[in-house]
Each structure stands twice: as structure tokens, then as C-alpha cells.
Structure 1
Amino acid sequence: MATALGGATLAVATVAPTAAQAATGNMRITKVVVNGGKDIVLTTSAKPVTVTATISEDSAVTEVWLELENRVGSDLNFHAARRATCTAAGSVKTCTTTLTLDPRGDMIHNGLVGSRNWQAYVQAAARDGDYASGYYPSVGLRRATALTLDAGPEPVRKGATLTATGRLTVANWNSNTWTSFANQPVQLQFCKSPCTAYTTVKTVTSTSTGSLRTTLAATSDGFWRWQYPAPFWASTSTSAPDYVDVR
């Protein structure tokens, strides 16, 4: 069986088996789920990720390994593996392990974002000699983003100018720091008090330092926030709301 490398890992969605599988006997790997099937959002700190494989087998399962790879052709960019713990309900075996994805290590860098080139690998063996293995597509890996907001003055006279400022940053796995996120469209949203739903008022582009700034006329009491929709390789983010009293 494989051994773990790098001490870090990622994720797999609920998917149909791929063609790259092998099996002896009647054992079948029927499902692989990582992180609930949702993309992994990684900051600058380590993140534990649960990986679960569902296996159909009429004998006791003796060993299951869950692995994660990022591979382009013959180049293996990332690999991690760990033995799983299994529970059984008749012929259905549920095997789970927790892997840790850590950007502070050498194996995680900005070039690994997205879902392309990520795949999971499952190896399982049973007491009666049955064996199954196979590759499964992964969910995506996203760089986390963060937003701050300040709206004021507070209180503000009705009809007077209200200024909203903030900053957009993104997790940089190359330097393991939060860095400015420039030239990104960020939505300024408002929810009139009593707040039930936010509406986008403006879209503002972040500066070279990630800064955000816009002005508008104050009309009603309510909550302001920034929201960033994000491309496929970054996470969406929303600032904490700021209540402004209009008098």
C-alpha cells in the first residue's frame, strides 16, 4: 500500500467511477466524497479535510487507503495518503480519513488552484482477497479572500454624502501572507432597516493596493457591506455589515 507524502491533502467530490480502475472479486468503490463535495477554501493556515469512500463488499474490509494527487502528465505536483477507518452496515462499508492541506509547506503554491489536474485515488482490500482501486475527480481548490468595510460618517444627515471604504485581500500561498487583490469588481450592498435582504447599489474596482472607496447620498437607516463574487480559483467573500444611522 502507499505511504503518505508531504502530510497535506485535498478533496474529492461525489462522482461516478472513472475508467482508471481495477478490481478483483465483487468489491466495488461506489462513492468518494471530500469536504461534503464542496470546493476547498484555503487561507494561509492548515485546513483539515474529511475524505470518505463508500465500498460495496460482502467480506470484512481489512485495509483502505485514500490518496490525493495533483498531476500533469508524468509530473506529480502533489501527493498525500492516509489509511482510512471503516464502519460496516452489511455489505456497505464507509471508510473515512482526515487529510490536512497546509500552504505553509513546500507542496502548496498558487499554481495549484482550480479543479483541473486534481484527482483522488482509493485502494481497498478485503479479508476474502477481493481488491479494488481507482481514480476519482477532485473538487476545486480556492484561495480565500477577505473584505473590510467602513461606512460613514455615523450618524449622517439625510441627503448628505455617505462614504464607503474597505480593502480586498487574498491568501497568497507562495509567500503564506494575505496580499492586496487588485483590479477586482466588488459590490457595495445595502439593506434598509429593518434588514431583510441586501441589494447591490454599486460595483467598485479595487485599486493596486486592494483598496475600495465610493460615495453616495444617504437616504435611509440600514446596513452596508461589500461582497466579492470571485473567479473560479478564489473564494467569494463578504465584509462584516456596518450600520449607519440616517437622521
Structure 2
Amino acid sequence: MRIRATVAAVTGALALSAFAVPAAQADDSAITREDTAKVLDAAHAAAAKSGSRAAAAAVDAPYALDASVSNVKINNGKAIVAGTTKQVTVPTTFTLKHGAEVDINAADFFVDVEIYKGSYEEPENILVGDDWPTCVAVTSTTASCKATIDVRPGDGELWNSDAGAWSANAYAIAFNGEDPSAADYDITKVGYAEQSKVGSTKVQRYSKLSVNASPEPVKKGKTITVTGALTRANWDTFKYAGYTVQPVKLQFKKKGTSTYVDVKTVKSGTKGALKTTVKAASDGYFRYNFAGTSTTPAVKAAGDFVDVK
């Protein structure tokens, strides 16, 4: 989850975790998501990272933890497609490698993979999961992990400008018994590892496509008018709006056959409107077919049957 106003005003590599509050990795852990964010802040400041959060971080920093993430797969390799209101829960898997001394089952050990739009140092937007990943040991130094990234477009977590390519960031933190709320808390005894660009994905605006062929029935040789509209989610207004000046194929499937064939290409106009004419030849189904773009997924309209007399 993400709050629009805060990330725009607060930057740093990577400003991911301070604004999302998934459940703790273990019920008996009193460590919060904000505590893990402070560890990241301190590490970034020590590494002389740019950004206001890093500049304000403490001088003391965590030590380098022997842990790394690989084999990151987001949404099974498919784009994340979001509409205007419905929450989208995106499955994510990855492999965690760690030193033999790292106890990944400890209540105060945390690992996560998050996605961000823009640069690692100055992310434009960030999406994370509601819950921490769950990891199952494969060997004494590797684990297979599952997680989710939760997207709520209806809560203002996305802008239209967010559509397109995103990157993944990963980090692991071992508090090793240190209590961030205690007076004697020693951050130098906390282990930290972080990686940028461990994976990638696309976030796309859900698309819709309609078709209507008329008149019906129609005499053979007469003109059929095929209308429709190509629309997509507008994350700025939480409504659907026309996707204009896009090439959309008109296709026809003759009655008794199973394959659609291309008839012509039509460009979407005002409010995504589609309109063209064809001559009636035989009974069959007309549909529009949009191939998609980097920001908008492909979509096909359901076929509209025309009875030719």
C-alpha cells in the first residue's frame, strides 16, 4: 500500500517501507515497519545516499548482513493490470540466500521485495505487500519465499503516469535481539542487506472494448455499420476514459467456423469511439481486437452476431 502525498514529498534510496505497514513477520514481534525503515535510513546515510530521508538518518549504521535475493518473479511474469476500484493482489516469489549464522526463522528477521516506479534513489511511486513474505528453508543457507504486492487503485495508490515499467527492490534485516524502542538499542548490531533492480514488471491500466454491428438482420450486399469503444482505467479520476488514436482491428468469424480473420484496422476517436462499415456477405460474428501497448493490456470484444438474409 502507499499514501500519495507522502512519497511525493519524501525521497531517498529507497523510500519504500516507511509508508506501508504490513503485519509483523511473527505475532510476538514488537518491531514495526517503521523500525525497519529506520534501519534502511541509517544504512543509506552511511553509504552517502542522496535524499532528504538519508540526510536526516542517524550516523550509526547496521552492519552488512550476509543475505541476498534472486530469482524474483512478480505476477508469474505477467503485467500487473489494475482497474479503478478493485484491489489487485499480486503473487511474488523469490529465493533467499544467507549465511549459516543468519536465523531466518527469528521473529525479528525481516525480508521483503517491493516494486517502485522511476529511479531507485528518487522513486516516483512504491507498492508493497500487506504482509511480510513467508520463507521455507530449502537448505541450511537457502530458502524459497512467497509474498504478495497489494494494489488498491481506488485508494489513490496509482496515477496514470505510473503505467509502464517498474523495478523491484529487495532487502533483509536481522535485529538480532536488539529492541529499537529500548534506551540501549545498538543499531550497529543489526544486520542489513539491500538490492535494487532484482526484478521488473509492468503496471497497466485495465482496458475495455465493446462492439455493435447493425442492422440485424441485414440483406446480403447491404451495409453493416460496426461501432464500439476502447476505454481504459483512469487512475487520476477513478473512472474509465476513452483511449484515443489507437489502431484497433475489426475481425469477422463466419458462422460454423472457429477462427476470426482481420477485416480492416480502425483508429479510435473521441472518447475511444470506433466506427466503420462493411458489406454484408454471410452470417457471422464481428468483433474489435486491440493489441495493447506498454501501458494498456490487449483486449478483445465479445463477438456480435449478424444474421444475413
TM over 0.5: yes
**Corresponding residue pairs, total:** 230
Pick from 168, 175, 194 the counterpart of residue 133 of structure 1.
Answer: 194
Shift of 1:70: 2.3
Shift of 1:43: 1.2
Aligned to 2:250: 188
**Residue deviations 1:122-142 (CA, integer Å, cap 9, x gap):** 223679998653122321111
Pick from 15, 34, 51 the counterpart of residue 74 of structure 2.
Answer: 34
Over the matched positions of the two proteins, sequence identity in percent amounts to 33
Shift of 1:153: 2.0
Pick from 162, 167, 179 the counterpart of residue 241 of structure 2.
Answer: 179
Pick from 30, 37, 47 the counterpart of residue 88 of structure 2.
Answer: 47
Aligned partners of 1:121, 1:232: CA distance in 2, in Å?
21
The runs of 5 or more residues in structure 1 that have no matched partner are: 9-21
**Residue deviations 1:44-90 (CA, integer Å, cap 9, x gap):** 12211112111234755233222222243743322244421112333
Aligned partners of 2:243, 2:295: CA distance in 1, in Å?
13
Larger relative strand fraction:
1
| Residues 220-231 of structure 1: pairs in structure 2 closer than 5 A | 220-231=282-293
1:138 is paired with a residue whose SS is strand
| Structure of higher RCO (CA pairs closer than 8 Å, 6+ residues apart) | 1
Larger relative helix fraction:
2
1:154 is paired with a residue whose SS is coil
Shift of 1:166: 0.8
Pick from 103, 115, 119 the counterpart of residue 72 of structure 1.
Answer: 119
1:183 is paired with a residue whose SS is coil
Aligned partners of 1:114, 1:61: CA distance in 2, in Å?
34
The runs of 5 or more residues in structure 2 that have no matched partner are: 1-15, 23-62, 177-189
Shift of 1:185: 1.5
User: CA 1:90–1:6 in structure 2 vs 1: closer, same or farther (change >3 Å)?
Assistant: closer
What TM-score results when the alignment is normalised by the length of structure 1?
Answer: 0.81
Aligned partners of 1:209, 1:87: CA distance in 2, in Å?
50
Aligned partners of 1:183, 1:125: CA distance in 2, in Å?
48
Superposition CA RMSD, Å: 2.8
What TM-score results when the alignment is normalised by the length of structure 2?
Answer: 0.66
Task: Note if contact 1:119-1:137 (Cα within 8 Å) is conserved in structure 2.
Answer: yes
| Residues 1-247 of structure 1: pairs in structure 2 closer than 5 A | 3=17, 5-6=19-20, 24-25=65-66, 27-45=67-85, 46-57=87-98, 59=100, 61-62=104-105, 63-72=110-119, 74-82=121-129, 83-91=132-140, 92-115=142-165, 118-124=166-172, 132-135=193-196, 136-247=198-309
